[in-house]
Amino acid sequence: MQRCYLVIFLILIQCIISCAKKDINIENLHMHVVKNATLINSDIYTYLVKNYYIGRFIEELYEYQEIILPRIDKNKYLTNTDGVFYTEIKELHSTAFVSGFHKISDKIKDIVFFTEPIEDRYKEIMFKNPEIVQLYYMEKHSYIRIYPPIDALSEYNPKTDFEQSTPFIIANKENNPFRVSQIVKSPVIEKIDGVWSFLVVAPVYFNEEMQGVSGMRVSVNFFLEKWLVGTSGFFAFLLTERGLMLSTNSELKSILNDYSDDPENDTTIYCMNLLQHDDLEKSDIAMKILNGEKSFITTINQKKYYILCEEISLLSSYLVYMKPSDINIQ
């Protein structure tokens, strides 16, 4: 009888130790997701700083315009029948486009000319930071200079008013009185030209008057591949404020029973709208996370998963870890 009690006691001790180890593992994993979310936020902040200083460089071009203007080759600039002032697409050169919304005066043309040197700064920045997929300067006279080059005549209407665009509005004096660099919201993350990205904008001032906006578009794919690839024992994904799930792990597609053929998916990043999933147990995961729950257990296909998450505030998103439990529901 004593031997029987001893066996039962040892089994209980083993169970307690096993549960304690599991709790420690989950606690460590939660610390890991908090740490990585903080590091991602720090990474994102560097682009706010980079774009802020690009804006300051453009302001210097205004300061030294009289020195710059004589050095510019003006013959490369053309005017079409719609009254658009532009440059043709040329590899390794920025594209300049001025719509006919405002009458294109010599003063406006001079602005286009003396801001041309930003092209070299753009090349340097993108060479050192390949995750930056686009840089531009958008000016109040419906002028934009953008790099890498694009077909601006097809992209923009001949009467485009850039002052009414979202980047210009959120960067103006009324919405950004402290003239800081910021990330465009609603949505923060969107797919542009096949790349999931976010947009950073900063105002450009000269003589205390806002002249335009410095824009920087940064690939989210870069952060997903940097922070989510190589995870072991759990699945990691990013959940946006709209309920979009972005991950480098295609296994999530089968786990979540996502049989859709979403054209937004590419070969490296798996995407689905978790919040709008047909299965309530799966959409409930997104709902709980977006409502502020940072740790909970959920059931998917009769299997339990620990859900651990932490907000990435600058992206209005959440870094989420989904760890399978050893317990299956019969």
User: What does the pLDDT read at residue 148?
Assistant: 96
| Poorest-pLDDT segment among 25-29, 145-149, 158-162 | 25-29
| Poorest-pLDDT segment among 18-27, 175-184, 316-325 | 18-27
* Average of per-residue pLDDT across 19-28: 56
Nearest Cα to Cα of residue 47 among 151, 182, 231? 182
Percent of the chain with pLDDT over 70: 87
* Spatial separation of the C-alpha atoms in residues 136 and 145, rounded to whole Å: 5
User: What does the pLDDT read at residue 253?
Assistant: 79
pLDDT band at 8 (very low <50, low <70, confident <90, very high): very low
Between these two residues, 63 and 249, which has the higher pLDDT value? Answer: 63
| Poorest-pLDDT segment among 50-64, 136-150, 211-225 | 211-225
User: What does the pLDDT read at residue 259?
Assistant: 55
User: What does the pLDDT read at residue 186?
Assistant: 74
Supply angle C-alpha 113, 115, 117, rounded to 5. 100
pLDDT band at 192 (very low <50, low <70, confident <90, very high): confident
Most confident of 27-31, 192-196, 268-272, 294-298: 294-298
- Transcribe 33-90 into DSSP letters: HHHHHHHHHHHHHHHHHHHHHHHHHHHHHHHTHHHHGGGS-GGGEEE-TT--EEE---
* Average of per-residue pLDDT across 58-85: 96
Q: Is the pLDDT of residue 149 over 80?
A: yes
Chain segment 253-292, per-residue pLDDT in tens: 778 876 555 555 555 788 889 999 888 889 999 999 999 9
* Spatial separation of the C-alpha atoms in residues 217 and 190, rounded to whole Å: 10
Domain spans of the chain?
A: 2-43+222-328, 47-220
Q: Give the Cβ contact number of residue 302 at 10 Å.
A: 8
* Spatial separation of the C-alpha atoms in residues 258 and 41, rounded to whole Å: 29
* Spatial separation of the C-alpha atoms in residues 256 and 61, rounded to whole Å: 53
Decide if domain 2-43+222-328 falls under CATH 3.30.450.20: yes
User: What does the pLDDT read at residue 12?
Assistant: 42
pLDDT band at 21 (very low <50, low <70, confident <90, very high): very low
User: What does the pLDDT read at residue 233?
Assistant: 75
> Considering the entire predicted model, what is its pTM?
0.86
User: What does the pLDDT read at residue 162?
Assistant: 95
User: What does the pLDDT read at residue 49?
Assistant: 97
- Transcribe 255-271 into DSSP letters: HTT-----TT--SS-EE
Q: Is the pLDDT of residue 136 over 80?
A: yes
Q: Is the pLDDT of residue 130 over 60?
A: yes
Q: Is the pLDDT of residue 141 over 80?
A: yes
The per-residue pLDDT of the chain, averaged, comes to 87
Q: Is the pLDDT of residue 172 over 70?
A: yes
